[in-house]
Amino acid sequence: MIFSFDLLINAVVSGILIGGFYAAVTSGVSLAFGILDIVNIAHPAFIILGSYVAYIINTDLGLDPILTALLMTPLFYVLGAGIYQIYYVSFERRGQESLRGLAFFFGLLFITEVSLVLYFGVDYRYVNADYIGPTWHLGDVELPLRLLVPCVVSLVMIAALQLILTRTYIGRAIMAVAQDQLALRLMAVDPIRIKRIAFGISIATASLAGAFLIIIQPVEPSVGRQYIGRIFAICVLGGMGSLPGTVVAAMLIGIVESLTSTFYGPSWAPAVSFGFLLLTLAVRPAGLMGR
């Protein structure tokens, strides 16, 4: 096989673009799992839900999927806050989150997925937007807008999240709740309210991530499962709750996956993230940018 420099550059570039999308997918989990310690394995299901909402509105009203997702974030926020309330009352308060809380989210994952299958069937769905077809060329490097647009919007979203977390009162309270709930309570802040807000934000990111997903590839209800391993691998590799770490880890996994599928074949790509996950857990559980 002749080693082609073109192929390598293009694989790396598309890895970075996909990585930007992975960062959006993972940011919600970084918030929920990394900061709040809620193992929300149903996150991919909410992302698929976001994809289907974007799909419905795009086919019925012709609205841009990303704009739709942005408009839908309040709805997802409320959904997330509601789920956290159930989770808190049923598990966290009773101290049963480890076993039954996990099973609860696993059940949610299944209910969402099967409901979507029953309603929409297992056909692949896709959206229409002006930027889905064309590709920009920079010399030999190809930049498909289908990947570039989600990547850029995703980075903007994560930057906004990072600003909220570090600069606003609510954001600092969210960071504080991860460190010391009692201290927060002594400052007259209700940690449960803060956690509810944070989990709401975490699910709200799924709305946008879902729109990105359906722009990048056609979606059917069980696609989300492929992301479970990837999401948590990125979250752990990025250092659990560090958003800059999440972006770096997402790009890294995006590049390695893209290289694997270019040079070894796409059927091997799913194994990459798991390899990374196991390696990280075994060698450096704190992740790349862990505190």
Binding site for another protein (CB under 8 A): 33, 39, 41, 86, 90-91, 94-96, 98-100, 102-104, 106-108, 110-111, 114-115, 117-118, 225-226, 228-229, 232-233, 236, 267-268, 270-271, 273-275, 277-278, 281-282, 285
Nearer CB in complex with another protein: 213/231 = 231
- How many angstroms separate the most distant Cα atoms in the chain? 66
| The two three-digit tokens of residue 218, written as one number | 């056609």
| SS3 assignment, position 189 | coil
Tell me the backbone φ, ψ of residue 144, rounded to 5 degrees: -65, 130
Tell me the closest approach of the beta carbon of residue 98 to another protein, in angstroms. Answer: 5
Nearest CA to 52 among 41, 68, 67, 29? 68
Nearer CB in complex with another protein: 73/242 = 242
Nearer CB in complex with another protein: 34/150 = 34
- Residue 69's contacts (CB-CB under 8 Å, 6 or more residues apart) are 50, 53, 54, 207, 208, 210, 211
- Residue 267's contacts (CB-CB under 8 Å, 6 or more residues apart) are none
Nearer CB in complex with another protein: 114/152 = 114
Q: Are 84 and 204 in contact (CB under 8 A)?
A: no
CA dihedral 107→275→33→43, nearest 10 degrees, is -40
Tell me the closest approach of the beta carbon of residue 136 to another protein, in angstroms. Answer: 33
Nearer CB in complex with another protein: 108/197 = 108
Tell me the closest approach of the beta carbon of residue 250 to another protein, in angstroms. Answer: 16
Tell me the closest approach of the beta carbon of residue 237 to another protein, in angstroms. Answer: 12
Tell me the closest approach of the beta carbon of residue 228 to another protein, in angstroms. Answer: 5
